[in-house]
Amino acid sequence: MSDNGHIIVGLEIGTSKVCAAVGELTETGELNVLGLGQAKSRGVRKGEILDAEKAGDDVRQALAEAEEMADVDIESVLLAVTGRHIECANYRGVHTIPSVDRAIGDEDVQLALRNAKSQSCPAGSEIIDSVRQDFIVDDHTVYDNPVGVVGGRLEARVHVIRGHANRLATSRQAVENAVPVRVEKPVFGGLASALAVLTTEQKQAGAVVVDLGAGTTEFAFFHQGLLRHSGVLAVGGDHVSNDLAYGLRILIPRAEELKLEHGTAVARPESAGVQVRGDSTSLHGGRGVSLEHLERIMSHRIEETLELVALRLREADALRMATAGVFLCGGAARTPGILEVARRIFQCPVHQGLVQGVSGPANVLENPEFVTAIGLLRYGAMRSRQRVQPNLLGKLRSLASLSSFRSFLF
Ligand SMILES: Nc1ncnc2c1ncn2[C@@H]1O[C@H](COP(=O)(O)OP(=O)(O)O)[C@@H](O)[C@H]1O
Ligand SMILES: [Mg+2]
């Protein structure tokens, strides 16, 4: 690590594994992964912590491994959150400009944004992130930035990601009670994954990232450089294994093994009549199971999951606007044939989502399961750049070029 590097740590408590990534943001703005630690996750179901003690133990193990590899003391982490309690939606907030013929100022923008946010947070929930979209002044003219425009009614559009306050507190406390580390902030896992995978150009052109995990599937859609839509579905790779266990009448651990050994998203004609070992732990002794049946069960569940994602993406018109295509990451993105099936369902280009613009060990960067934790490093890097933004904002304003500036978060 260089002396002046700023350390950022990302932690994902996933349904199948806990993953901690330690990154260094250099003075020149480069991001390097210095260490990574992981542990099997035993306290999580469908993305939510059900056994905080077990989750805490797994966090301790993953962080210790990451600390050792990176040779740093971890003080704080950005924590990826997901689960059915996460809600992502677009809101509008209106602010009336008190006097006629007055140009809209920063304060007016802030008030319109605040109104949008206040509607988006019912009792018991907590806003995780909110991203400003565009603004509408009086006669429906849309502005990226309305400062300096003369108008009477200002409407702000905001994408808000919120979660159930108690569930978020459970995640935070599971970490803070287990290790002497502070949770800086929760971050929606789907947003973190998108930040790891998409380049600036892809975010500008329009792109979607779908993170196919064990218990959940997250998605995030960027267009014109901003997060436009996101969400979570409580389905993932575990459901495929459960279906296999039920359909083939074998135990879940064997179903998981068979999925990894023989799994495919597209049933193959040559598998007809082929038997694979059902294992001695199967309910029926060492009998074989039909590979054709296995492939049919698996491909149906994967298709169904991708159809559900497509439905949610179509609601936001994301698939039509994703000029750069859809990028798949998360462990289930390893399933052979999944890109082909996704192309057919999404009706647009689909690619493997790989970490971009970050350096580090190849085996870490190429692993689809680590994308979220590495994306948290990118999130942290963007946040630290935003902290120096007021100066930049001042300079830009004095150059009267504010319209080209769009903030990532507010
Ligand atoms: N080769 C593979 N084929 C199919 N599924 C896979 C493969 N490798 C991993 N998976 C699945 O990926 C999921 C784990 O992905 P991961 O992104 O680590 O999930 P999480 O973040 O929810 O812990 C598991 O359901 C696992 O079975
Ligand atoms: Mg995950």
Quick one: which atom of ligand 1 is closest to the CA of 238? Answer: 25
Q: Looking at residue 389, what is its pLDDT?
A: 52
CA of 202 to the centre of ligand 2 (A): 22
Confidence (pLDDT) at 3: 53
Tokens of 208: 């979607």
Nearest CA to ligand 1 atom 8: 331
Is the overall model pTM greater than 0.95, yes or no? no
Cβ of residue 190 lying under 6 Å from some atom of ligand 1 = no
Pair of tokens at residue 82: 């997901």
Q: Which residues pair with 232 in a beta bridge?
A: 218
Q: Using the atom order of ligand 1, give the atom closest to the CA of residue 237.
A: 25
The closest-lying atom of ligand 1 relative to the alpha carbon of residue 211 is 17
Residue-by-residue DSSP string for 335-374: STTHHHHHHHHH-S-EEE----S-BS-HHHHT-GGGHHHH
Residue of 44, 244, 259 best suited for mutating to test ligand 1, as the one with most atoms within 8 Å of CB? 259
Question: Which residue's CA is the closest to the ligand 1 atom numbered 27?
Answer: 237
**Tally: H helices and E strands in the chain:** 13, 18
What pLDDT does 170 receive?
A: 98
Q: What is the DSSP secondary-structure string of 138-164?
A: TTTEEES--TT-B-SEEEEEEEEEEEE
In angstroms, what is the span from residue 330 Cα to ligand 2's centroid? Answer: 6
Q: 15 CB under 6 A from ligand 1?
A: yes
Ligand 2 centre distance from Cα of residue 332 (Å): 10
Burial (0-12, 13-18, 19+ Cβ within 10 Å), 134:
middle
For ligand 2, the distance from its centroid to the CA atom of residue 40, given in whole angstroms, is 12
Instruction: Specify the residue for token string 């009998």.
Output: 287
Task: Give me ligand 2 centre to Cα 21, in Å.
Answer: 13
Whether ligand 1 lies within 6 angstroms of the CB of 189 is answered as no
CATH code: domain 87-163 is 3.30.1490.110
Atom of ligand 1 nearest to the CA of 236: 25
Evaluate: CB of 172 within 6 angstroms of ligand 1: no
Ligand 1 in reach of 330 Cβ (< 6 A)? yes
The SS3 call for residue 41 is coil
- Amino acid 6: pLDDT: 94
Q: Using a 6 Å cutoff on CB, does residue 193 contact ligand 1?
A: no
Q: At what angle do helices 252-262 and 291-315 cross, to 10 degrees?
A: 80
Any atom of ligand 1 within 6 Å of the Cβ of 263: yes
Calpha distance 212→132 (Å, rounded): 27
Tens of each residue's pLDDT in the chain, 410 residues: 445 579 999 999 999 999 999 999 999 999 999 999 999 999 999 999 999 999 999 999 999 999 999 999 999 999 999 999 999 999 999 999 988 788 999 999 999 999 998 888 888 999 999 999 999 999 777 889 999 999 999 999 999 999 999 999 999 999 999 999 999 999 999 999 999 999 999 999 999 999 999 999 999 999 999 999 999 999 999 999 999 999 999 999 999 999 999 999 999 999 999 999 887 554 555 679 999 999 999 999 999 999 999 999 999 999 999 999 999 999 999 999 999 999 999 999 999 999 999 999 999 999 999 999 999 999 999 998 876 555 544 444 433 323 323 344 43
CA distance 327 to 305: 15
Q: Where in the chain is the domain with CATH 3.30.1490.110?
A: 87-163
Query: What's the gap in Å between 299 CA and the centre of ligand 1?
Result: 15
Of 207, 294, 209, 202, residue with least CA distance to 255: 294
CB of residue 93 inside a 6 A radius of ligand 1: no
Assess contact for 350 and 333: CB atoms under 8 A.
no
Give, in degrees to the nearest 5, the angle at Cα 305 between 355 and 262.
75
Q: What are phi and psi of 264, to 5 degrees?
A: -155, 150
DSSP label at 252?
H
Q: What is the pLDDT of residue 284?
A: 53
The answer, yes or no, to whether any atom of ligand 1 lies below 6 A from the CB of 335, is yes
Please give the distance, rounded to the nearest whole angstrom, from the Cα atom of residue 220 to the centre of ligand 2.
Answer: 13
Q: How far apart are CA 36 and CA 100, in angstroms?
A: 57
- Separation of alpha carbons 274 and 268, rounded Å: 11
Q: How high is the pLDDT of residue 101?
A: 80
Q: How far is the CA of 330 from the centre of ligand 1 (A)?
A: 6
CA–CA dist 232, 14 (Å, integer) = 13
- Distance in Å, CA 58 to ligand 2 centroid: 15
- Atom of ligand 1 minimally distant from the CA of 16: 23
